Structures are given as C-alpha cells and as structure tokens.
Amino acid sequence: MGFFNRKPRTVDPNTTNAVGGEKHGRRGIMNRSDRAHNNDRGTARGDGVFTKPSFGQWIKSTWPDIVTMTVMGIIGLGVYEAPPAPSRSFPVYSIDGNVIYPEFAYPLRKEIVPIWAAALLAALVPIFFFLIMQIRIRCFWDVNNAVIGLLYSLITAAVFQVFLKWLIGGLRPHFLDVCKPAVPTSGAQTGNGLGGIMYDRKICTGDENDINDSLESFPSGHTTAAFGGFIFLYLYLNAKLKVFSNYHPAYWKLIVTYMPVLGATLIGGALTIDEFHNWYDVLAGAIIGTTMAFSAYRMVYASIWDFRFNHVPLIRHIPFTYGEGSPFEAFRNAMWTRQAGWGSNEAGGFGGAPFDASGSSGGVMSGGIGRNGADPTGRRSAEGYQGRRSIGRKPVGGSPSARRPDEMV
C-alpha cells in the first residue's frame, strides 16, 4: 500500500476517491486504477478522475502549463538581464554644493537576504508544508494543485515585477554610492535642467552592472517573491486547518497560519535595513505578490474564503458544482483538521452560502455537528440547515430538567 493509499475513515462508497472510500483494484498516488468508477449520482464516472493518473495522463493534462511556465521563465530571465530601459535624470549637488537627495546616498551594503535565497525560501518552504500536510491528507490532486498553483503565483509575479523594473525602475537608496558621480562641487555646472543641476548616468564612473542594478529599484523582487509564495501558503494553511470556519479552532492554528505572512514581511523589511530598497518598492512588491497568490490559489482550489470549499482541489476540464451530489465531495478528506465533523459524511451539508456559492456543500462537512455529538442519520443537520437560513429553535417551555444544557431555547 502506497503512502497516498491510506483510508482515514470509512466513507460512503459513492465517494470513492484517492483520500478514502471503497477500493477498486489498486488506488493511490503510487499507482492508478483503470477500472471505471461510477458515481450513482451520475456526476463522476468512467475514468477515475479523482485518482492519481499515470505519468502520461498527467503530462497530457499539464503540458500546456509546463510550456507556458517555461516560456514565461525565459522571458522573465531575458528582461531581468536587460539593461534598464528609461534614461533617468537625477540631481546630485545643489548650486551651493550640498547633496540634494541624501536618501540615495547610503553606502552599498551586503544584502541580509540575497535574491536567490528569497526565491528559494518562497518556493521550498511552501512545498515543505504541502508535503507535511500529506502525512494526514494523502491526496495526489491536493499536492499537485498546491505545487502547480504556487508556481503560477511565483512565475507570474516574477515576470510582472521584472517588466516594471525594466520599464519604470527607480533609484536604490545606495545609487549615488554605486554611481560615483564625477561632478564638480563648485564652479560652473555642466548638467541640464533648471540651474544645470540635473544629470543622467553618463556622469557615473562606477561598475556598469552595479549601476544598472541600482537604477531598477521599483518594485522589490525579493518582496514580490516572498509574498507570492508565502501568501499562497497562508491561504493553503487557512483552508487545511480551517482557521476561519464554522467552529472555534485551537489558537496554535492561527499562529501557524500567519507564520508565512510574518516571514514575507521580515524579508521585505530587511531590504529597508540593508538599504537595497525604498519603502514604496517593498510595498509595491507586497501588493504584486499578494495579488498573484490570491489569483493562483483561486485557479486551483474551489474557493479562497468560503470555508466549506476552499480546501477542495479543482480538476482540469471538470467544473466544480457548489451543491449536493457534486463528485467533488470525494475530496471531503482533503484537509488536515478533523474537528467539528470535517472530513466525515455523517451529516448533511449547509444551506445558503456566505461567499461564492449558493448550494449546499454536498456532504463536504457536517452542518456544525462534530464527532462529539454528530447525528449519524443526518436528520438534525437536514432539519437545521438544509433549506433554511437559520437554526431551528425549540419552543420556550417544558421542564428544565427535560432539556440538555446545550440545547437552544
């Protein structure tokens, strides 16, 4: 039995899948099943779409993304290596010989977090957590979508920011130290603009590569990569731990969920300490990385904030249906937590939708009835949630001793 073959709990045979349920031959991430698996609701059938595909099937489905990401990576690398496009004018000394912009005269220092380290951390730390989660989740499509979505976020954010650096750029805080301008501090000025105090890079005498780099400050590539990877991980952890959900989770889950945000912020903030970026460069990088992370996560999972669906990985060419009977309820176990009935099919789905769905959850979780006190028949959930917008109330009255303390009155 392979690593991804574990059967966490007995589930309805109509939801046979890679994360639990009835076996049909060999199943799981390390093998595949060629037998047809029919869902008697008529929505998942024939090709075992929720099991791990063969390598050839995976390539056939994923090759457009692989080609696109490769092309985008080549484009991004080419733009990154290109010299800055704009020819910027900048002042150095005023007429009386004072430095006009001392905020660009900081000394060149060694980076606290090099760009290669920021990129590796943004990729490898999330992947490490994806794999750790599989100890309990054991779902091929979850780890596949998580890694693919992470690459979507990182590559798109990187290409986005290198184009901005190339076409817009800006002066780094250590620009004047790198430029080493050859400008007289007294006598006739040889620049342009009002008073002849504006210059371009022609007056620089420093290293050509350092000058090119110091003219491409906006936005911060370190921060873009950090937020692109760590915010994606933040969304993933929230979905798997169900921090913003329908029950009161343990406090450690909140801490773990926000650790990636702290890491991304520290990487961005370090750039203002070593004077490699201005604060607005860091802010712009954070916005770009966060935007790409949210976009990429929503491409590969059924929701971002809707706690009933945000752990459900999406399958290419098969639309997710936000309602009871969806074949995607096969992924009811694709999360870490098992509290409050998550991952079980003991109770019915929710009625109504807080965000981007209008149907019930199709058995993805119990309607607020957990393992401790779940109604195995589903009657309580059906009466309290399906087809109603509020929890049914028990009439006031009767003997106090006849009511349980936890019943609503």
- Chain Cα centroid distance, residue 191: 48
Which uninterrupted H or E stretch holds 338?
none
Backbone conformation region of residue 25, classed left if phi is above 0, alpha if psi is from -120 to 50, else beta: left
C-beta neighbour count of 280 within 10 angstroms: 13
CB 111 within 8 A of CB 192: no
Residues 6+ positions from 74 with CB-CB distance below 8 Å: none
Tokens linked to 139: 């779902």
Tokens linked to 152: 């979507």
How does residue 355 score in pLDDT terms, banded at 50, 70 and 90? low
Q: Rounded to the nearest 10 degrees, how much is the dihedral formed by the CA atoms of 313, 316, 322, 326?
A: -90
How far is residue 236's CA from residue 296's CA, in Å, rounded to a whole number?
A: 11
How far is residue 216's CA from residue 167's CA, in Å, rounded to a whole number?
A: 9
Give the Cα-Cα-Cα angle 124, 275, 115 (nearest 5 degrees).
Answer: 20
Which uninterrupted H or E stretch holds 259?
helix 251-273
Tokens linked to 121: 């951390």
How far is residue 61's CA from residue 174's CA, in Å, rounded to a whole number?
A: 47
Mean pLDDT along residues 152-173: 94
80/358: higher pLDDT: 80
For the chain, domain boundaries:
64-300
Give the Cα-Cα-Cα angle 141, 241, 7 (nearest 5 degrees).
Answer: 50
Runs of H (alpha helix) within 38-139: 55-81, 115-133
3/259: higher pLDDT: 259
Place of tokens 């780099």: 213
135/348: higher pLDDT: 135
Task: State residue 401's pLDDT score.
Answer: 52
pLDDT at 400 over 70: no
Please write the tens of the pLDDT for every residue from 231-285.
999 999 999 999 998 889 999 999 999 999 999 999 999 999 999 999 999 999 9
Please write the tens of the pLDDT for every residue from 57-90.
888 888 999 999 999 999 999 999 888 887 888 8
How does residue 313 score in pLDDT terms, banded at 50, 70 and 90? very high
CB 312 within 8 A of CB 304: no
Task: State residue 26's pLDDT score.
Answer: 39
pLDDT at 121 over 90: yes
Region of poorest pLDDT, from 48-57, 216-225, 331-340: 48-57
Per-residue exposure over 189-207, b if at least 16 CB sit within 10 Å of its own CB, e if not: bebeeeeebbbebeebebe
pLDDT at 148 over 90: yes
**Closest CA relative to residue 179, chosen from 107, 84, 97, 268:** 107
**Closest CA relative to residue 141, chosen from 7, 311, 314, 271:** 314
Mean pLDDT along residues 337-362: 56
How far is residue 136's CA from residue 4's CA, in Å, rounded to a whole number?
A: 9
For 135, 178, 182, 214, 380, the CA distances from 206, given in Å and listed in that order, are 53, 6, 10, 11, 75
In the chain, what percentage of residues exceed pLDDT 70? Answer: 68
Amino acid letter, residue 323 = G
Rg (CA), the chain: 28
Which residues pair with residue 362 across a beta bridge? none
Residues 6+ positions from 370 with CB-CB distance below 8 Å: 247, 339, 340, 341
Per-residue exposure over 377-401, b if at least 16 CB sit within 10 Å of its own CB, e if not: ebebbbebbbeeeeeeeeeeeeeee
pLDDT, the chain, mean: 76
Burial of 135 (0-12, 13-18, 19+ CB in 10 A): exposed
How does residue 384 score in pLDDT terms, banded at 50, 70 and 90? very low
